[in-house]
Amino acid sequence: MEYDVIVIGAGNAGLVSALTLQKKGKKVLILEKSKMAGGVSSSFKRGIFEFDISLSKLTNYGNEENKGEIFHLFDRLGISSKITMKELEHSFHIIDKEKKESYTFPVGIDNFIEQMEAYVPNSKVSMITFFGLAEEIRDAFNYYNEQQVKNTEDLYLKFPNFVQLAPCKTKEVLKKIGMPEKAIELLVATSLPEKNEDENFVSFALHLENSIKFPSVIPTLTSHEISSVLEKEFLNMGGKINYFKEVEEIEVENKMVKKVKTKDKSYLCNHVIANISPITVYCNLIKKEEVPKEAFGLQNSRDLGAKCITVYLGLNKSPKEIGLTKYQYIILNSLQSEKEFKKMNQIKNGNLYATIRNNGVEVSSREGTTEITLTSYFYGRDFEKEVNSSNYYEKKQEFAEFLIESFEASTNTSIKEYIEEIEIATPVTFNRYTSHPFGVVKGFNEKGYDNFLSRYFTEEKETFIKGLSFCGGFGSRASGYENTYLNGEEVANKVYEECMEK
């Protein structure tokens, strides 16, 4: 059985890659080890509740009048009209537990700047400068991507700020443009619960602008609605998906992909796109003698990204009855980012995201009920040191209670007595569904010079085996729904060009 391209894993990026190539006339097969598409872009049911596994909001989307990159991508894939989205009212709602203060920011750059000025007087000029730099960064990327022959030298002449900012850390730049300290901390707080102190300014500015310039949305069903539409479109275009087919080997000869093997079949192909971790591919799926030393060296040089504990709660009271008015709460111990970053190696670090889905889509659950998702990110290896097979369920309960109590204290609400359904996901859970090493959910850590920018411009140098590409959270754009969708298309376009050269 021969295919032009085999995609391993039907996650977000894998589905987009497969559909993009199928629309371009390539013969594509997706091999998925589970029973359905989506990966963690899916949902599960407990009692009368259906919980979205991972999506809190989709940024860089917008609407018909103000289309973001993801909207344009879905247009190209032919699926934007087939998904019903609900716009979210606010961009961010931040709670500072230490000072017992909260900050709500609207959608729209001008509105955001005015609100920041109200919270932090004399911040307006620096905020305008910040968004001006973010716009130049976006223009530089668009210019680079539109070039038929990639030429980084032109970037120096056309976008000098972009080039100068490329190696800089976020807070370093914000201080240089004269932004008041509190405004800096509020901006950094928008991603603090999951990022690290070495975050590159370019990556930060792009993501924050996307979250403000275009309305964030959520599917009226769950993220699985998007996965299902991508899957259906792919099948309608003549693509094929084999479920319950876990790949056991990628056969490589002379540094070239030859075939893909499952337990009972072999598939000839010209190219493989792996929507799974490179560590899994190089260590488990390819014979060691066929993996170049440079490939192992690169993976060993990178730090794994964040893991998380997620608690899914179904309550028998409505959000209004409980006193919850916002869709998402960013809950922080304090706005002192350097202090909070140091805590991120602790499992119980106190910083978390809380999503009240009913405040985005009112009919997410039955009338008089509430769906809440609490997620806390952390780094390092403390989970493996602290949790083992004998205390796993006890520790799960301990982590869940900590997050619930943190949420109650910070929102001044009481939810324990209303819990009807509860499910707790740990790195063990996410490892089982994704096969990611140690259950990480954020791919490789963007740290120092190994950031989104450097990966993006040197991606071709990371091709160690001809015909093997990677997409998704471990790809050049790193993790997140927005990034993985875009990365899926970018990888597909590069593979298409390679296919046409043969």
Residue 172 token pair: 């370093």
Q: Specify the pLDDT at position 347.
A: 95
What pTM was computed for the model? 0.94
Contact of 39 with 307, CB cutoff 8 Å: no
3-state DSSP assignment of residue 250: strand
Across the range 125-137, mean pLDDT stands at 96
- CA–CA separation, 228 and 236 (whole Å): 12
Q: Specify the pLDDT at position 226.
A: 96
Q: Specify the pLDDT at position 477.
A: 85
Q: Specify the pLDDT at position 195.
A: 76
Contact of 242 with 31, CB cutoff 8 Å: yes
Q: Does 413 have pLDDT greater than 80?
A: yes
β-partners of residue 240 are 29
Share of the chain above pLDDT 70, in %: 98
Q: Specify the pLDDT at position 157.
A: 83
Beta-strand runs (E) in 90-226: 90-96, 101-106, 217-219
**Sign of the dihedral through C-alpha 329, 88, 318, 55:** negative
3-state DSSP assignment of residue 397: helix
Q: Specify the pLDDT at position 423.
A: 98
- Every domain of the chain and the residues it spans: 2-44+59-82+220-302+450-501, 107-213, 305-434
Q: Specify the pLDDT at position 1.
A: 77
Lowest-confidence range among 6-10, 75-79, 140-144, 448-452?
Answer: 448-452
**pLDDT tens digits, residue range 287-339?**
999 999 999 998 888 888 899 999 999 999 999 999 999 999 999 999 999 99
H-type helices in 237-365, by residue range? 278-280, 293-301, 319-322, 337-343
Which of the two residues, 150 and 63, has the higher pLDDT score? 63
Residue the block writes with tokens 């602290």:
386
Q: Does 399 have pLDDT greater than 90?
A: yes
Residue 468 token pair: 């093997």
- CA–CA separation, 368 and 420 (whole Å): 12
Across the range 346-356, mean pLDDT stands at 96
- CA–CA separation, 102 and 118 (whole Å): 13
Q: Does 261 have pLDDT greater than 70?
A: yes
Q: Specify the pLDDT at position 70.
A: 96
Lowest-confidence range among 60-64, 161-165, 171-175, 258-262?
Answer: 161-165
Residues 306, 31, 239, CA angle at the centre, nearest 5°?
120
For the domain spanning 305-434, the CATH number is 3.90.660.20
Please give the distance of CA 321 from its chain centroid, rounded to a whole number: 32
Q: Does 502 have pLDDT greater than 80?
A: no
Q: Specify the pLDDT at position 150.
A: 66
Across the range 422-436, mean pLDDT stands at 93
Q: Do domains 2-44+59-82+220-302+450-501 and 305-434 have the same CATH topology?
A: no
β-partners of residue 64 are none
Share of the chain above pLDDT 90, in %: 79
- CA–CA separation, 281 and 275 (whole Å): 10
Residue 325 token pair: 């008015």
- CA–CA separation, 449 and 454 (whole Å): 7
Q: Specify the pLDDT at position 230.
A: 97
Q: Specify the pLDDT at position 231.
A: 97
**pLDDT tens digits, residue range 96-119?**
999 999 999 999 999 999 999 999
Q: How confident is the model at residue 149 (pLDDT cuts 50, 70, 90)?
A: low
**pLDDT tens digits, residue range 184-230?**
999 999 988 787 677 789 989 999 999 999 999 999 999 999 999 99
HEC string for 152-181: CHHHHHHCHHHHHHCCCEHHHHHHHCCCCH
CATH architecture of 2-44+59-82+220-302+450-501: 3-Layer(bba) Sandwich (3.50)
Mean pLDDT of the chain: 93
Q: Specify the pLDDT at position 460.
A: 79
Q: Specify the pLDDT at position 148.
A: 67
**Sign of the dihedral through C-alpha 312, 315, 320, 323:** negative
Q: Specify the pLDDT at position 299.
A: 87
Across the range 391-406, mean pLDDT stands at 97
Contact of 465 with 252, CB cutoff 8 Å: yes
